[in-house]
Structure 1
Amino acid sequence: MSDLILVHGAGHGAWCWDLVLPELAALGLPARALDLPGHGQDRTPPADITLDLYATAILSRIDRPAVLVGHSAGGFAIAAAAQRRPDLVSRLIYLTAWIPAPGQSLADLRRAARPTALTRALRPSPDRLTYSFAPETYADTFAHDAPTDRIARARANLCPEPVAPHETPLTALPDTPAFALFCDDDRAIPPALQRAMAHAIPARRTASLPTSHSPFLSQPQALAQTLARLATSPA
């Protein structure tokens, strides 16, 4: 059975999967979460961070074919890893994610879609190397259905998000089998946009949860169960 490698989105870290990992273990699925460079416990300076460095960080954790799960901005990171080493990635699962389109960066997709709630939540740093989420909008935009104690912990662990990876396009999409998990009460990436991006790949199979952008906070058990189905279903 392939390991699941859980890749967080913007401003988060491996910590956001803490409630999901034991649920996956209970289902018999080996899974690990990692901090992308500049996130969580990783202290790489923002000026040194690139999309290619994200791919390197992911691939350094894999020694046999694995299933990569990318949440939100993590969708670009897992695609970059699969593009570089398709032999090490058995499938991709995009969790309410930004899904690459050839020649377009994540920032290109975001600007074209103009998701209003997400745009209001972003705060660029003075040097424009990073952006952060406005604390007062975090719950409403990303986790309105999560318990307040989990929201408080998440807010306390948020970090600035490097801009450079978001401005880097992928020139081609990986051939790795791709699956998509939609969140139907997402205010950050609207469900219609999630589906449009998945249709463009196209995703081989999709599933959905009735949650906000942060199902790892609001419904970790249901998230684990759905990831398990997507990870083990026929490709």
Structure 2
Amino acid sequence: MARILLIHGASHGAWCWRDTLPALAALGHEVRAIDLPSHGDDPTPVNEVTLEEYGRAILDALDGPTVLVGHSMGGYAITQAAEMDPTHIAGLVYLCAYDPWPGLGLSQMRMEAEEQPLLPAIRMAEDRRSFTFDPDMAPNLFYHDCPPEAVAFALDHICPQSAAASNTPIQLTENSRALPRSYIVCTKDRAIPPAFQRLMASRFDAARVTDLPSGHSPFFSMPDALARAIDTLVKA
């Protein structure tokens, strides 16, 4: 049994893990999900959010050795938390997530991919301090293989995303790099190209890399298979 904390990606919240939480609990894990600042039920104004605040929110949620699972943008959030204080972090699992590279904020790192499927869907606020995703394009990018009810649920809950949190590089040290690090590649992802995921995952121990035949949201499309993949990795 492991203690696991699930961290959502851009414009999402703890709500996206609704089907994965019971699936992991059924495998014997102690599992929780939180809203990062300005997401879900958290009242923080989106224009005030920083990547450091994401990291602090994660650290504040830890009460013992915990494996952090970060989805998509959540890869930056869990890495930031580990860099701030790895004391209670037992491992990092990147779920079709950005694994930060030196000197690159998430927005800059995304541009390292040969394909840019997200770029046409990004809608910047007038003050350019936050952005959203085109609701007509989001289903095909994020939820193309998810049940219709889950797609409707997600579209009702997605929220603006802090631009500052997406533009901040992380000063990478052994605080995060020395932890057990795993990667789950989603091979049918239409948001983060699988080829780019594999490039990021190539920097991980091959024994800690696994695939899911899923789009960008396996927490909706195949929560049981996702739970089994996480279970295998936290036991590795």
Whether TM exceeds 0.5 here: the answer is yes
| 2:188 corresponds to 1:185 | yes
Question: What's 1:17 paired with?
Answer: 17
Question: What's 1:75 paired with?
Answer: 75
Question: What's 1:227 paired with?
Answer: 230
Alignment of 1:35-114 (within 5 A): 35-113=35-113
Read off the aligned partner of 1:220 and give its amino acid letter. P
Question: Any idea what the Cα deviations from partners look like across 1:120-146, whole Å, max 9, x if unmatched?
Answer: 121111111111011101111111111
Read off the aligned partner of 2:129 and give its amino acid letter. L
8 Å CA contact 2:49–2:162 kept in 1: the answer is yes
Q: Residues of 2 paired with 1:193 and 1:3: CA distance?
A: 29
State the aligned residue count: 233
Question: Any idea what the Cα deviations from partners look like across 1:157-211, whole Å, max 9, x if unmatched?
Answer: 0000011011110121412111000100001111110011122355651111001
Change (3 A) 1:75 1:111: same
Q: Residues of 2 paired with 1:114 and 1:152: CA distance?
A: 30
Q: Residues of 2 paired with 1:138 and 1:85: CA distance?
A: 34
Q: Residues of 2 paired with 1:121 and 1:149: CA distance?
A: 22
Q: 1:116 deviation in Å?
A: 2.6
Question: What's 1:211 paired with?
Answer: 214
Question: What's 2:201 paired with?
Answer: 198
Q: Residues of 1 paired with 2:118 and 2:205: CA distance?
A: 25
Q: 1:155 deviation in Å?
A: 0.3
Read off the aligned partner of 1:129 and give its amino acid letter. R
TM-score (norm 1): 0.96
Read off the aligned partner of 1:43 and give its amino acid letter. P
8 Å CA contact 1:177–1:204 kept in 2: the answer is no
Read off the aligned partner of 2:127 and give its amino acid letter. D
Moved over 4 A (4+): 201-204
The runs of 5 or more residues in structure 1 that have no matched partner are none
Read off the aligned partner of 2:121 and give its amino acid letter. A
Bigger drift between 167-176 and 30-39 goes to 167-176
Amino-acid identity (%): 45
Read off the aligned partner of 2:198 and give its amino acid letter. R
Q: Residues of 1 paired with 2:111 and 2:49: CA distance?
A: 21
Aligned-pair RMSD on alpha carbons? 1.2
8 Å CA contact 2:7–2:70 kept in 1: the answer is yes
TM-score (norm 2): 0.95
8 Å CA contact 2:7–2:34 kept in 1: the answer is yes
Q: Residues of 2 paired with 1:126 and 1:230: CA distance?
A: 42
The runs of 5 or more residues in structure 2 that have no matched partner are none
